[in-house]
Each structure stands twice: as C-alpha cells, then as structure tokens.
Amino acid sequence: MKETPPPILSSYLLREAEKFFPYPNKNRRTHGWIAFQKKGDDKIRELAEWRKTFTPLPNSDLFDAFAFLLDELYCRDVLKKIPEFVERTRRLSNLTLAGIPDRDSLAYLIESANCYIGGSTLAAVALARAAIEVSLRKSAAKVVGEKQAYAADLKEVIDEYCVRRGRLLSREAADRAHHVRRAANDALHHISTRPVDVLPVLEAARAVILELGRRAGPEARRSNSALQRARARVARSGR
C-alpha cells in the first residue's frame, strides 16, 4: 500500500532522510532501522558537542574525515525543527520594527528575532537587552555625559538618568526595560528554571526604544530652539 505523503515539505524530506545511513546507503524505514540510525546520530552528536567546547579531539583528522556524517546529522536535526521555526515566525507576525530610530538598536533587535526563530533563546534575550542598552546609554549620555552614562549599572541608567533626571522614559516603559534586563540576567546566569518566552521580551525592548526616540525628539527640538535664541542674543549684543 502506497504511503500517504506528509502534509508539509519538511516532514516529507525528513522521512526521506531517515532512509539513509550513511548516505548514499539506503534502507527501508523500519523500527529497527530508525533505532540503528538514531544510535549512529547520537554518537556523531556527542562528537559535535565535544567540538563546541573547543577541546581538541584525540584524533581530529579522523573526525574531519567523517564530516559527511555531520552533514547527515544536521540535515535530520534541522528538518525536525522546521515546524518550530515556522510557528515562531508566525508569532512574530504582529511585531514590526518599523520606526526604530537607532540603527545599532535595530540591528540587535533583528538579530534577536533571528535567534528567536532559530530557537536560540539565550542569544535572543541577550541581544534584546543589548538593543535597549545601546539606546538607553546614548540617551543617558545627553543627560549626564558619556563617561557617567557608560560607566553606570544599567538599572541606574534606567531609573536615575532616563526616568528621574532625563524624563526620557515613562514609568511603564521603565518597567518594560527592567523586564528585558532581568530576563537577560536570569537567562545568562541560569537563574530561572523555566523556559523564557522571548516574544514578550522582544516586544518590551521595541516599546522602550520607540519611546526613547519619541521623547528625545521634542527634547532635541527644545534644545535647538534654546541654542538658536542664545545665538540671536549674542548676535544682537554685538551689533
């Protein structure tokens, strides 16, 4: 009896990939064959994880000679994850980065979104924090100077320089900034035992950066107007 094709391409390709080990050797997808293939993949995965520690293998040349097995492992692993990539991309559909004024922050947010789609939670949260930190410190530097703004702890930058002194953030936006900051701290220091939901962190980071941009605009215009008035007074006094 002919098998019914899977509903999506990634499932079809995974089913086809499970017939090979090592490629181009092919077999029927029996339970015994799949179990044998899984054991082989697990052994290759152990070696790949060892490589990620940057620790030299006892026989690195031998490992390089079997790089084609890594190719097979990554093909099957990525194909299994594609439906998750699709679902996370769909969750991002209502999040737009249009209007982000700072190019550095925008670059970090884009990379954060890419990491989120790919399932790299820790990297996504760390980059979201980097995105707000760039804008927060740049904004704080206009209030207290670059040296103080870049030397201070991020919590102080938010509460003292951007809220109390600079009035560059509302209390609601400050709470969002702290949410991003704490999420990154928890993820990087492995404090939280629960998986991090990256999407709210990304949304909070975007909202903070947008508010900084909106509030900096009127401030900049007032500063320019004051500077123009001062120059006019100097010009009149020199006549």
Per-residue pLDDT tens digits for 6-56: 899 999 999 999 999 989 899 988 999 999 999 989 988 887 777 776 666
* Rounded distance between C-alpha atoms, residue 105 and residue 210, angstroms: 10
What are the boundaries of each domain within the chain? 9-90, 100-237
Give the integer Cα–Cα distance in Å for 219 and 17: 59
Mean pLDDT of 64-72: 83
pLDDT surpasses 90 at 183? yes
H-helix or E-strand spanning residue 153:
none
- pLDDT at position 191 is 65
Report whether pLDDT(223) > 50.
no
Confidence of residue 101 (pLDDT cuts 50, 70, 90): confident
pLDDT at residue 187, as a whole number? 85
Location of structure tokens 């909070």: 204
Distance CA 143, CA 149 (A): 8
Dihedral, CA of residue 123, residue 126, residue 127 and residue 130, to nearest 10:
-160
- Tell me: pLDDT of 226 over 50: no
What is the tens place of the pLDDT at every residue in 127-142? 999 999 999 999 999 9
Task: Quote the tokens at residue 229.
Answer: 């008035």
Radius of gyration of the chain (CA): 26
List pLDDT tens digits, range 195-222.
788 999 999 999 999 999 988 764 444 4
The pLDDT value recorded for residue 220 is 41
**pLDDT tops 50 at residue 234:** no
Q: What's the pLDDT score for residue 222?
A: 45
pLDDT number for residue 93: 85
- Written as one letter, the residue type at 110 is I
The pLDDT, as a whole number, for residue 104 is 95
Q: Do residues 123 and 202 touch, judged by C-beta distance below 8 A?
A: no
CB 110 within 8 A of CB 222: no
Rounded-to-integer distance, Cα 66 and Cα 232, Å = 76
- pLDDT above 70 covers a percentage of the chain that reads 83
Q: Which residue, among 22, 122, 112, 111, has the nearest Cα to 68 in the 3D structure?
A: 22
Distance CA 103, CA 10 (A): 35
* pLDDT given for residue 4 in this prediction: 83
